[in-house]
A and B are shown apart, each in its own frame.
Chain A
């Protein structure tokens, strides 16, 4: 049958063509192709390893950061608590000091007022004694201006 005709020439040429192809591809194509692929695969594997390493480091850094943030927060809270308590104490101290100062100022003012009043009363008494001496002198028609009369007039004013 035409379909199954044996053609030794074609048979041998198939082997020769295949052998030639295998030889040329193995010598010039596959080493370059597979070498390139292997190099790329190696680079990809390296990149993957690096990426994994970076991810691990990132996770570590993240956990360290979280620890640091927690510690910092804790410290900040402590400092804030300390500052608040110090501020409270300072405020109390300052309030007490201000109250003392106010009391002292008030006391001084009171003392000054008293002194002033005393001075004024004395001046008034002196003036009144002078007036009494003047009035008495006019009544009796002679001058009453000696120290003795003035002392008496002062006693009278004090008694009054």
Chain B
């Protein structure tokens, strides 16, 4: 990072640390490591998270002898948390059992990407709108597919039509509801992206103050950065929970007839 010479645009430096790139910029003094096959850093973090999940889960649960280890209990508790606190309360036990693998994978995937981003010098894949949008679009597609399958095409839209409403008002509400489905998914994506992106930016901003204002400012900005980092750990958990819970709710609402 540049000193206080004024020749470097600090916002550019900050954004460079959170934005996507094609080389791993681990530490300021270490030269950048170019990624193979034209892979971007966020894509690399995405693959790293996927590999990490597979390396953690598959060996533990493939061999029955390993299922009693501390790691197995910890991983099991994550899945049970998704089952008992997200899927079953929203969908009920019968439907929840069908949706549990999807929701648990979604939760673990987002949580791992969030946590990988918390490792110093790594970047958060969920801090990229394309990653969060891909997941949100997947949820949106599922809302339509499951809704059409469970209720039928006409009933799916009729489900959004309020009873005993004048035609014009009904059409207006139906349009609002359909647009709402897209907005819900967009908000799902934006919420996760903004939270993960802003958290990292806040930490970097605190650190950048040392270079832009004064070295003495480290006594203030480092504790604040550490506090924000700890807050980020909590946010990483909460955002994975919120994304999974809302996905669960939207899919359940769209595929269940009400009224």
Chain A interface (Cβ < 8 Å from any Cβ of B): 2-15, 17-18, 20-22, 24-26, 28-30, 32-34, 36-37
Cβ of B61 and Cβ of A14 under 8 Å apart?
Answer: no
Query: Interface 1/0s, chain B 105-141, versus A by CB < 8 A?
Result: 1101100000000000000000011110111001000
What distance in Å separates the Cβ of A58 from its nearest Cβ neighbour in chain B? 32
Q: What B residues does A3 contact at CB under 8 A?
A: 15, 19, 129, 197
- Interchain Cβ contacts within 8 Å, total number: 101
Interface of A is mostly: helix
Q: What B residues does A11 contact at CB under 8 A?
A: 130-131, 133-134
Cα A24 to Cα B138 in complex, Å, equals 18
Cβ of A17 and Cβ of B67 under 8 Å apart?
Answer: no
Q: Return the chain A residue nearest B51 by Cβ.
A: A17
Cβ of B57 and Cβ of A25 under 8 Å apart?
Answer: yes
Known: A2-B15, A21-B54. A30 touches B46 (CB 8 A): no
Cβ of A32 and Cβ of B50 under 8 Å apart?
Answer: no
Cβ of A14 and Cβ of B135 under 8 Å apart?
Answer: yes
Known: A14-B46, A14-B134. A24 touches B40 (CB 8 A): no
Interface-lining segment among B96-104, B169-177, B213-221, B233-241? B96-104
What distance in Å separates the Cβ of B14 from its nearest Cβ neighbour in chain A? 12
Q: What A residues does B80 contact at CB under 8 A?
A: 37
Q: What A residues does B134 contact at CB under 8 A?
A: 10-12, 14-15, 18
Cα A33 to Cα B240 in complex, Å, equals 21
Cα A39 to Cα B197 in complex, Å, equals 42
Q: What A residues does B33 contact at CB under 8 A?
A: none
Knowing that A10-B131, A33-B79, A36-B76 are A-B contacts, what are 19 other residue pairs whose CB atoms are under 8 Å apart, sorted by A's residue number? A3-B15, A3-B19, A5-B20, A10-B20, A10-B40, A14-B134, A17-B49, A17-B50, A18-B138, A21-B50, A21-B54, A21-B108, A22-B105, A24-B54, A26-B101, A26-B105, A33-B61, A34-B100, A37-B79
Q: What A residues does B106 contact at CB under 8 A?
A: 18
Question: Of residues 18 to 36 in B, which have CB atoms within 8 Å of A's CB atoms?
Answer: 19-20
Known: A14-B135, A30-B101. A6 touches B130 (CB 8 A): yes
Known: A11-B133, A24-B54, A33-B79. A18 touches B197 (CB 8 A): no
- Asked if B168 CB lies within 8 Å of chain A CBs, one says no
User: Residue B102 contacts which of A7, A17, A22, A34 (CB distance < 8 angstroms)?
Assistant: A22
What distance in Å separates the Cβ of A28 from its nearest Cβ neighbour in chain B? 6
- Asked if B187 CB lies within 8 Å of chain A CBs, one says no
Q: What B residues does A24 contact at CB under 8 A?
A: 54, 58
Cβ of B43 and Cβ of A10 under 8 Å apart?
Answer: yes
Cβ of B79 and Cβ of A14 under 8 Å apart?
Answer: no
Cβ of A18 and Cβ of B130 under 8 Å apart?
Answer: no
